[in-house]
Amino acid sequence: MSELVIKDLTVAVSADGTEILKGVDLTVRSGETHAIMGPNGSGKSTLAYSIAGHPKYTVTGGSVTLDGDDVLAMTVDERARAGLFLAMQYPVEVPGVSVSNFLRTAATATRGEAPKLRTWVKEVSATMGALEMDKAFADRSVNEGFSGGEKKRHEILQMELLKPKVAILDETDSGLDVDALRVVSEGVNRVRDTGIGTLLITHYTRILRYIAPDFVHVFFDGRIVESGGPELADRLENEGYHRFGVNETASA
Ligand code: ADP
Ligand code: MG
Ligand code: MG
């Protein structure tokens, strides 16, 4: 049983001190799926980046702990080793490093020892199969020329292989066609069934037709303004964010 606990988190842009997160409280436990939904510019990605330890953002108050350990005191690598998976952690192109080498290096770093080659190869190939990825994909350079769908599948592949305690997925649904959305969602559901806690950040309700959240939180102006069950997502789909003073819909 693991627990990511965010308490009264306030965060500013490092460059100019603009406050973006204005007191976020949230607890994600093993096996729970939380959806954070909110209009553009409300600070959702800032929350994800802050938990990831991105230098663009400075934590000005509050705390983030994983099983009691101070996440904010950890380096980015230590956060991964502690069991946090942040989908935006490896968005860069890594020319010359194949997907299979990259995954094995990441698994070695997070597990503290190299996975046994025979079982590892099987594990990678089974997971790629489940994500409907071509075998040749393993030999490509990381993120180089990846389509939007390939990037997201690669993200979920990492998550399934690294077996984190808590995964934070920011806009995993954006730019996916229906097939990719289904495959990616099935991957998220598989890890959820193994007991991983998931924080799914999204602007749209579309992905929530495939991944049923246990909790839905509405994010607005740097904080969570409302929390509920899956019915809250349905309400947002019908009403958009109007009730929070925003002139746009949550579906599309
Ligand atoms: P969301 O993911 O909900 O769309 P973001 O976290 O990306 O929101 O952005 C929240 C607000 O913070 C926006 O007004 C955005 O312009 C601002 N912001 C985010 N990052 C920076 C930055 N590095 N420098 C200046 N402003 C930023
Ligand atoms: Mg945005
Ligand atoms: Mg965002």
223: pLDDT strictly greater than 90 = yes
Which of 20, 220, 223 best tests ligand 1's pocket when mutated (most atoms within 8 Å of CB)? Answer: 20
pLDDT at 89 (0 to 100): 46
Total structural domains within the chain:
1
Specify the CATH number for the domain of residue 243: 3.40.50.300
pLDDT at 106 over 70: yes
Question: Of 225, 226, 172, 221, which is closest to residue 199 (Cα–Cα)?
Answer: 172
Name residues whose C-beta falls within 8 Å of residue 206's C-beta, 6 or more positions apart in sequence. Answer: 173, 181, 251, 252
CA of 131 to the centre of ligand 3 (A): 25
Domain span at residue 213? 3-251
CA-CA distance, 8 to 63, in Å (whole number)? 7
CB 45 within 8 A of CB 162: no
User: What's the whole-model pTM score?
Assistant: 0.91
pLDDT tens digits, one per residue of 118-131: 999 999 999 999 99
User: Which atom of ligand 1 sits closest to the CA of residue 15?
Assistant: 24
pLDDT band at 252 (very low <50, low <70, confident <90, very high): low
Report the distance separating Cα 165 and Cα 195, nearest Å: 8
| ipTM attached to this prediction | 0.94
